[in-house]
Structure 1
Amino acid sequence: MAKHSKRHGNHEEHMDESWLIPYADLLTLLLALFIVLFASSKMDAKKFDQMVRSFDVALNGGIGVFNQPSPVPLDPSLPQQTLHMGKETDDKEKTEEEKKMEEAIRKETEDLKKLQQRMEDYIKANNLGDKLQTQLTDEGLLITILDNALFDSGKADLKPEARKLAAEMASMLVPHPKKVTVTGHTDNVPIHRAEFPSNWDLSVKRSVNFLKVLLENSNLDPSKFSATGMGEYHPVASNATPEGRAKNRRVEVAILRDLASPPKSSPPPATE
């Protein structure tokens, strides 16, 4: 009887341990989840998407919560980053938009270069190289005309040959319907005339008179043109010499760009 009781006691000590198998599987899945979450803070969305798809295929045939887009950004410095295939489409669309903008800017630059070449040909044909200059800038095409090519000293009425120059320039501007500014400049020598009490008045009157001759061409849109006077306050050379003062007495015609150059993208922040 005692032997039977001892055998029965030993049988009760060996409990059913089959529950350990699913428990161990659960712990393994949780460990894998924590590894994935930790790794996600150290990688970009594309690599993370590849990893979670591999886990899905290995664990449940590719159908699970990993297939759904994540509502939480991976990197706080990249708030727009999400884990779904639409992200790649957005990137492609953005790239296409950038390409279109770059192409439009390139075409506009080529048009301005053609206009500059036409102006350079006119300058060369009329021996005006010492009086007219052209420069292509980030803002557009700048044409600088020294005042002795346009006006007599201390006056604002255009010379006959200057009217011819303005008419020729106007015809060149017709195929390029852009905004145009005409700006008058003087040297710092005070002017004492009843018509022009100051260099401000002289610079404004000269720019307006040149603008009026440009707009005698009826094919130009006056709403795109403007005239200003800067007086003596924007010199390009020293007023201490006659040569410098001659360079400062000028009229600048600026054909402005319609498109601005895109800002340079800053490098992404470094991750630890």
Structure 2
Amino acid sequence: MSRKHKHDHEDHIDESWLIPYADLLTLLLATFIVLYSMSSVDVKKFEELSQAFTLAFNSGSGVLDNPSITERGPQKDEIIVENPEDKKKKEEEARRQELMKKEQEDLEKLKKSLDTYIKKNGLMTELETKLNQSQLMITISDNALFASGSAVLRDDSKDLASAISKMLQQYPEYEIIVSGHTDNEPISTREFKSNWDLSSSRAIRFMDVLLQNPGLKPERFSAIGYGEYRPVSANTSVEGRAKNRRVEVSIIRKYIDQNAIEQIPATPKQ
């Protein structure tokens, strides 16, 4: 009797090991598919694959539901929220660039008007304009304005000052600096103790005439004398000294590009 029972048991082969074996093969297949899919950054493909595995395994959550797998950088469908401070800085910089562009156009227009006036009146040897990254400068020879050793404007030079003031009136928001310069010949008179006095007085007198125009704002103007200490030419010749005796009217930029600004030395090389 026991023998028969044993024979029946041997005839029935246990195949339960096939279930975990099949699960193992399925997991291996899933692993290879996941590794292959990770080489692509297509979020849509990941989502479809995740849904497919969810349905296949019926586990309630996909094998790719972990966001660390799918978050591989900004995608087309993503909405990136910009930092408010960064956005504000970008807007301010864009606005600044617009203002710089407008300022450049204004100063170029003013320079063109001045150059036209200079050419029309035959003043090429007495006046010069220069536009750089910090200012528009009008250089006027002292011969066009004053007698030697004097700070009294010639009558004909007042017309020049009036013409310049009318052009400046179109751009009332700029800071204007009027500076006087001399050569290195010493001066000592009852009126002027030194070239400091002479250069300062000439700058102030020319500024006075400019400000006779009521359309200009006096608070935007200042005058300064440099004496002989900022020459533009060597004082070793008559021509060089004549170039150094001058009055400069500088229209200062409000928006300066620090990366491109010209560095002008306090005492230019001779």
| TM-score when normalising by structure 1 | 0.70
Give me the whole-angstrom Cα distance separating, in 2, the residues matched to 1:219 and 1:225. 13
Matching of residue 147 in structure 1 with residue 142 in structure 2:
yes
1:153 deviates by 1.3
1:155 deviates by 1.7
SS in 1 for 2:212: coil
After superposition, the Cα gap between the structure-2 partners of 1:56 and 1:180, relative to the gap in structure 1 and judged at 3 Å, is farther
2:193 paired residue number: 197
Equivalent pairs, count: 238
1:53 paired residue number: 43
After superposition, the Cα gap between the structure-2 partners of 1:93 and 1:27, relative to the gap in structure 1 and judged at 3 Å, is farther
Deviations 1:149-190 (A, max 9, x none): 111112222111222211111111111112111111111222
What percent identity do the matched residue pairs reach?
38
Equivalent residue letter for 1:114: K
Where do 1:119-268 residues align within 5 Å?
119-177=114-172, 178-261=174-257, 263=259
Runs ≥4 residues deviating over 6 A: 61-64, 66-70, 90-99
Give me the whole-angstrom Cα distance separating, in 1, the residues matched to 2:70 and 2:28. 26
**Contact map agreement 2:41 2:70 (CA 8 A) in 1:** no
Give me the whole-angstrom Cα distance separating, in 1, the residues matched to 2:256 and 2:29. 60
After superposition, the Cα gap between the structure-2 partners of 1:32 and 1:251, relative to the gap in structure 1 and judged at 3 Å, is farther
1:17 paired residue number: 21
After superposition, the Cα gap between the structure-2 partners of 1:147 and 1:65, relative to the gap in structure 1 and judged at 3 Å, is same
- Greater shift, 5-14 or 129-138, is seen at 5-14
Give me the whole-angstrom Cα distance separating, in 2, the residues matched to 1:22 and 1:91. 49
Give me the whole-angstrom Cα distance separating, in 2, the residues matched to 1:221 and 1:196. 29
Give me the whole-angstrom Cα distance separating, in 1, the residues matched to 2:231 and 2:169. 30
Q: Name the larger-Rg structure.
A: 2
After superposition, the Cα gap between the structure-2 partners of 1:67 and 1:24, relative to the gap in structure 1 and judged at 3 Å, is closer
1:131 deviates by 0.5
After superposition, the Cα gap between the structure-2 partners of 1:141 and 1:24, relative to the gap in structure 1 and judged at 3 Å, is same
Equivalent residue letter for 2:171: H
**Contact map agreement 1:56 1:63 (CA 8 A) in 2:** no
Deviations 1:118-154 (A, max 9, x none): 2222222322111001122222321100111111112
Equivalent residue letter for 2:251: I
Give me the whole-angstrom Cα distance separating, in 1, the residues matched to 2:218 and 2:238. 36
Gaps of 5+ in 1: 37-49, 75-82, 265-272
1:53 deviates by 2.5
After superposition, the Cα gap between the structure-2 partners of 1:54 and 1:230, relative to the gap in structure 1 and judged at 3 Å, is farther
Give me the whole-angstrom Cα distance separating, in 2, the residues matched to 1:102 and 1:208. 35
SS in 2 for 1:59: helix
**Contact map agreement 1:151 1:158 (CA 8 A) in 2:** yes
The two structures, once aligned, show a CA RMSD in angstroms of 3.9
After superposition, the Cα gap between the structure-2 partners of 1:29 and 1:11, relative to the gap in structure 1 and judged at 3 Å, is closer
Equivalent residue letter for 2:230: H
1:30 deviates by 6.9
Give me the whole-angstrom Cα distance separating, in 1, the residues matched to 2:46 and 2:219. 64
Equivalent residue letter for 1:203: S
**Contact map agreement 1:52 1:66 (CA 8 A) in 2:** no
| TM-score when normalising by structure 2 | 0.71
**Contact map agreement 2:46 2:70 (CA 8 A) in 1:** no
